[in-house]
Chains A and B, each alone.
Chain A
Amino acid sequence: MNTKKDDSISAMCTVSIGEAGKTGDWRSLRPVINHDKCIPSVKKKSACFLCWLYCPEGVVKATVPVEIDLDYCKGCGICAEECPAKAINMVREGEKHE
């Protein structure tokens, strides 16, 4: 007995970014930051970051300027909803924004 063991005998993921694949391709709406309004960009220092705090996917980077990792952003729009400066617009994927 004792046949060769299958390394993926049950469904397992390691704890690392992208383990479930590029989940950003589920997105139909893309967040676009207007840095003329975004508070950290305007103040040129760490501030606000409510988008970072509320993002359920953890794909917002609390940097100046704020960055969103579109490889994994699913386009839920919570950041846009929470942004007090109304600096984030949700733009349909495949469409241009000005």
Chain B
Amino acid sequence: MSNVQIMTGNQAAAIGAKLSGVQVVAAYPITPQSQLAEIISQYIEGGELKAEYVRVEGEHSALTVCISASTVGARVFTATSANGLLYMHEQLHWAAGSRLPIVMCCVNRGVGAPWTIFNDQQDSISQRDTGWIQIYCRNNQEILDTIIQSYRIAEEVYAPIMVCYDGFVLSHTMMPVDIPDQETVREFLPPYQAHTILSPEDPRTLNAVLFPWRRANSAGVLCDGYMEMRYKLQAALERSPAVIQETNSRFAEVFGRDHGGLSWGYRMEDAELVMTGMGSIASEATQAADMLREEGIKAGVVGIRVFRPFPAKELKEAFRGAKGIVIFEKGISYGYEGALCSDLKAAFYRSENQAPVHNYIAGLGGRDVKARELADAARASWMEMQTGIVEKPTTWLNCYTG
């Protein structure tokens, strides 16, 4: 029995957190996330959600509260955007290094300076190397479902997860969303078990300074040094794709919705020209693929859901058969190219797939990019690839570059 309601991405996220039974929430409002923080505070104030909402003076403290609460065994939630996320940066590393299964929404927004409140993905892309799993959603249903999935994944591998979705494009756009039944979610998502239970009977010092080499503790047991602890975080993230896929399959069985796990494909059966991206721009590219198909170009889309851990092995499979790849990115690694572009090309290194890759930077600071413009760009690249233009400088779409 379905329970479909029309709602914004922020509301879908709030419902996802509520259904997941979060116990502590600490969030500081920032556009375009604000509505999400407001809705959750209403749930708590109205008694619909039995949780504690900790009011804080900024994002650094918001995540610090989540770290503390998660450490003592609470399921926690927070959300932010843009400069708020950047303000958390130090604690992002701390959360991952402490191996805490925190789930946070990043409602993607461009970062200042200059100020923008509008959408791109530079905020989360620039937090790529903090040890967080990053999942990008393409519609409001996926936001709700991904939050539920994320707690299951995070609490299995003990790593924090950033659920990313595009500001305004999704956060403030209303779509039909099927709200899962609370009891079914409870069964899907077992209660959170902290990896370490802190108690006055067994006091611990957490994350004290570690020295370059391993150390013998007071009992004479050789303990991990800093480098071993960091290796374990990497190993957890390397292990997580299997957990993400297993969770996705289980979710599909229980709820009847399959969002693709690590990535999803659209008209990929015989696709030669493959467009790719993360979040709503990948979803929009499906329309562009339809347009190109009508012109006789065998176009398809691979939408990348999981950016960290980067699913290199699975993506090599997903792009099998591609004769040309066009990447649309709402962010850039300044001084080089789109971060996704670099990672994807690295995944293909010495593999069978040596298709030319063209990189487009699009939609920064909310700059509109239409499906037909994606189709135009992909078609232009396809033509160039036919004439042997394999390498091409990163192209800024819809941008006056003089």
Contacts and interface: CB of A to CB of B under 8 A. Distances in A.
Interface of A: 1-3, 5-6, 8-21
Contacts of B209: 20
Contacts of A10: 97-99, 195-196, 206-207, 229
A6 B209 CA distance: 20
Complex A-B, nearest 5 residue pairs according to Cβ-Cβ distance, in ascending order = A21-B215, A18-B218, A13-B205, A16-B218, A12-B204
Contacts of A21: 211, 215-217
Given A11-B207, A11-B224, A2 B156 contact: yes
Contacts of B224: 8, 11
A67 B216 CA distance: 25
A20 B213 CA distance: 11
10 contacts: A10-B229, A11-B206, A14-B203, A14-B217, A17-B218, A18-B217, A19-B205, A19-B217, A20-B217, A21-B211
A9 B158 CA distance: 9
B147 to A, nearest CB: 18
Given A1-B243, A11-B207, A20-B215, 20 more contacts: A2-B156, A8-B223, A8-B224, A9-B158, A10-B98, A10-B99, A10-B195, A10-B196, A12-B196, A13-B204, A13-B217, A14-B202, A14-B203, A14-B204, A14-B217, A14-B218, A18-B218, A19-B205, A19-B217, A20-B208
Interface size of B as a range: 20 to 34
Interface string B82-120: 000000000000000111000000000000000000000
B217 to A, nearest CB: 5
Contacts of B207: 10-12
A81 B342 CA distance: 58
Contacts of B211: 20-21
Nearest to A20: B215
A17 B156 CA distance: 34
Given A11-B210, A13-B205, A19 B158 contact: no
Nearest to B236: A9
A15 B204 contact: yes
A13 B208 contact: yes
B368 interface: no
A6 B246 CA distance: 21
Contact of B218 (A1, A3, A19): A19
A5 B236 CA distance: 12
Interface string B197-237: 00000111111111100011110000110100100100000
A19 B99 CA distance: 21
A40 B84 CA distance: 58
Interface in B168-211: 195-196, 202-211
Nearest to B204: A12
A9 B218 contact: no
Contacts of B196: 9-10, 12
B40 to A, nearest CB: 27
B204 A9 contact: no
Nearest to A26: B211
A53 B84 CA distance: 44
B218 A12 contact: no
Contact of A12 (B97, B158, B205, B215): B205
A1 B158 contact: no
Contacts of A12: 196, 204-207
Which of B99, B196, B218 has the most A CB atoms < 10 Å from its CB? B218
Given A9-B158, A9-B232, A10-B97, A15 B203 contact: yes
A21 to B, nearest CB: 4
Nearest to B190: A2
Given A1-B246, A14-B204, A9 B195 contact: yes
A54 to B, nearest CB: 22
A60 B206 CA distance: 26
